[in-house]
Chains A and B, each alone.
Chain A
Amino acid sequence: MHRSVWWSMAVVPLLAAAAAPGLAQTTVNPDISIIPRFRVESNDGEKLDQGKREFSRPDLQFEELELAIQSYLNPYARGDVILTIPGPDLENSKLGIEEVYASVLRGLPLDLNLRIGKYRAEFGKLNMVHPHAWPFITQPLSQLRFFGEEGLNDLGISASVLLPTGDVYSRLTVDLLRGNSVGKAAGLPDTTGAQPLYATSARLMAFFTLGDKSDLEAGLSTYTGIHDPYNHYRFWYLNGDMKYKYRSSAYTSLTVQAEYLFNTRTVTAAPAPVSGTLNTSGLYMYADYQFFKIFSAGARYDWSEQPYSAGDRAWAVALFLGYYPVEETLGVRFQYQHTETEPGTSTRAVNLLALQVLFSMGPHKAHPF
């Protein structure tokens, strides 16, 4: 097919949608949801430098408020705006943009979906899930160290296509991103104002139905960009993920999920301790058992190096409980986590106890499998 024909097939629905006068005057309000999270936390690592191991005073903290505004824009596209007020400083917190993007769902050739804006990229499995939907409280170490608290969340444009694999659902998603998300997480200077440092990510996933009660999703992701302020050095993240779910009844299910992330990058000196090619990695795996519909209990294992140091390792074991008395409208989670960090030759062990309370107003949709 001639290129101009493809182009017109892609653009006409967008223009038609923009030009439709009735659509601009819609009286249908978007779905609005509000999900605040609070946390009480104590750990025994704050006075280790003074040679003391004692649990800190358990403070009640405001963790985050998420405001989701979601709606179809027209017959072809929908818009999602996720605003956030981060904690813990309730008085001085400012409203920020966690995600704001439009998705074109119909009208493009090859049944392509497009997304443009600022969003959590489809890299691995956990990155796309908002923290209120995690079964645990803390972020896995590998995700925290390689992406930062916000995850891989960047300005960009994304295209995804379903692959012709018969009855098996498989999808390829490719993103072109602004590229400062990972640099920010690693504590590098923000260079986006200097020169365009684009990064690209991609994920190939497949979903397998293993029977009436169990399903498996597996995915491979990659993310590459420039990681130094002078536009010289490239990094690659490669990630494998899997999620298995066995649902024996409407009240009981078992979820097992794991991700392994491998990082390779060219480094010269600081922040890395040596020059050359640095290879590091991290992983997490968890199992979560839901019972009586309203309870869940699980365990997670984390192990991770740093993006710029193979010597700075950490591992953690977390045990978590969840109580959701009325579907997703109210959640109470408890977590115990033992973390050992090994920056160089010394080892530092910290125990954490955390209680999280969250509630949800509005129709914020369930995250897909």
Chain B
Amino acid sequence: MKYVLLCAAACLLTTAGFGEIRIVTSLPDLADFARQIGGDKVKVDFIVRGDQNPHFVEVKPSYMMKLKSADLFFIIGMELEMWAPQLVDGSRNEKLSVVDLSKGIQKLEVPSRVDASQGDVHRFGNPHYWLDPRNVRVIMDEMVDAMVSVSPSDEKLFRANEDVYLKKLESMIPQWEGEMKPFAGSRIITFHKSWSYFTNWLNLTVADQVEPKPGITPTPSHTADLIALVRKAAIKAIVVEPFYDMSAPEQIAHAGGAKVLMLPPSEGVVDGTGDYIALMSYDVRTLAAALK
């Protein structure tokens, strides 16, 4: 009888997720990394879908509910998630640790001076660093440290899982670099300054952005300038995230003779990009095809 009761209690605790670390991430890509590290020791959810602009997220109570019972909230930081403090306050979760994953990142485009005349410039630098897979090790190291602080007894497991995943990811990096090697030095246009780390990694040059300034809606005069630039520099690709309006990029592409590429910066938007490795494979393959 005692044995039966013990089994029943164990079953109840298991179904209630006893001992699980509850993690919420701002982006789905970070959720993927957290799952790779934590395995069945973690329960992971995220806030921003891949088809949503992570800069602008409505402060919804449903997001606060996700954070209410979480132990860790992993964010990109560098003021990408300007909406995060309101969610954290609204969650009323005192034990929640907010972990900024940008601490160890070699940051690009850190401005010396910031004011609103420059558009939505991030004062701590460009925050889209997860699009360089070489930064994933830094991100995951930070995650492991935070997860170990919640569950020290699982440290060995977390570090082993991290190693396994990084081995797999880092074995893909030379392959992706190889695919893009023929296009080193190629010039592309992007809608927003989201691809700086990606292009820096692959030796591409961003000639200009569709936005006249970060976060500012395309203007007719800037669009005309870009058409001239595309023609003059024979630019082949205009990279646009799925949440931006395609009309200005299509106008530039049509008039200048380039292609518009919808490249997702986060996983789950396009079929077959359900994890980070698949996402990077898709983005590299699609861009390489367009630059041929």
User: Which A residues fall within an 8 A CB radius of B?
Assistant: 78, 105-107, 111, 113, 162, 167-169, 171, 207, 209, 212, 215, 217, 247, 249-251, 292-294, 325-327, 329, 361, 365-366, 368-369
Residues of the A chain whose Cβ atoms lie less than 8 Å from the Cβ of B61: 169, 171, 207, 217, 368-369
Residues of the A chain whose Cβ atoms lie less than 8 Å from the Cβ of B245: 251, 292-293
Name B8-61 residues within 8 Å CB distance of A. Answer: 49, 52-53, 56, 58-61
* 5 CB-based A-B contacts, threshold 8 Å: A78-B89, A105-B92, A209-B62, A247-B58, A251-B245
A-B contact sample (6 more), CB < 8 A, given A247-B58, A368-B58, A368-B59: A169-B62, A250-B52, A250-B56, A250-B244, A251-B245, A368-B61
Cα-based distance from A219 to B245 in the complex (angstroms): 35
Question: Contact: A162 with B92, CB < 8 Å?
Answer: yes
Among residues of A, the one whose C-beta sits closest to the C-beta of B88 is A105
Question: Contact: B64 with A169, CB < 8 Å?
Answer: yes
Of A113, A329, A369, the residue contacting B116 (CB under 8 A) is A329
Residues of the A chain whose Cβ atoms lie less than 8 Å from the Cβ of B56: 250
- Interface status of B215 (Cβ within 8 A of chain A): yes
Residues of the B chain whose Cβ atoms lie less than 8 Å from the Cβ of A217: 61
Residues of the A chain whose Cβ atoms lie less than 8 Å from the Cβ of B216: 326
Name B56-93 residues within 8 Å CB distance of A. Answer: 56, 58-62, 64-65, 68, 83, 86, 89-90, 92-93
Question: Contact: A111 with B92, CB < 8 Å?
Answer: yes
- Interface status of B286 (Cβ within 8 A of chain A): no
Cα-based distance from A294 to B60 in the complex (angstroms): 21
Question: Contact: B89 with A325, CB < 8 Å?
Answer: no
Residues of the A chain whose Cβ atoms lie less than 8 Å from the Cβ of B217: 293-294, 325-326
Cα-based distance from A361 to B116 in the complex (angstroms): 9
Question: Contact: A107 with B94, CB < 8 Å?
Answer: yes
User: Which B residues fall within an 8 A CB radius of A?
Assistant: 49, 52-53, 56, 58-62, 64-65, 68, 83, 86, 89-90, 92-94, 116, 120, 215-217, 243-245
Question: Do A250 and B92 form a contact, CB below 8 Å, given A325-B217, A327-B215, A368-B59?
Answer: no
Residues of the B chain whose Cβ atoms lie less than 8 Å from the Cβ of A168: 65
CB B245 to nearest CB in A, in angstroms, measures 6
Cα-based distance from A34 to B83 in the complex (angstroms): 20
CB B124 to nearest CB in A, in angstroms, measures 15
Question: Contact: B59 with A207, CB < 8 Å?
Answer: no
Question: Contact: B92 with A113, CB < 8 Å?
Answer: yes
Return the 8 tightest CB-CB contacts between A and B, nearest first. Answer: A169-B61, A111-B92, A207-B61, A368-B59, A250-B243, A209-B62, A169-B65, A369-B60
CB A318 to nearest CB in B, in angstroms, measures 25
Residues of the B chain whose Cβ atoms lie less than 8 Å from the Cβ of A294: 217
Question: Contact: A106 with B59, CB < 8 Å?
Answer: no
Among residues of B, the one whose C-beta sits closest to the C-beta of A252 is B245
Cα-based distance from A365 to B87 in the complex (angstroms): 12
Question: Contact: A162 with B68, CB < 8 Å?
Answer: yes
Residues of the A chain whose Cβ atoms lie less than 8 Å from the Cβ of B93: 111
Among residues of A, the one whose C-beta sits closest to the C-beta of B60 is A369
CB A110 to nearest CB in B, in angstroms, measures 9
Among residues of A, the one whose C-beta sits closest to the C-beta of B247 is A292
Of A111, A169, A209, A212, the residue contacting B49 (CB under 8 A) is A212
Question: Contact: B58 with A369, CB < 8 Å?
Answer: yes
CB B170 to nearest CB in A, in angstroms, measures 34
Question: Contact: B92 with A207, CB < 8 Å?
Answer: no
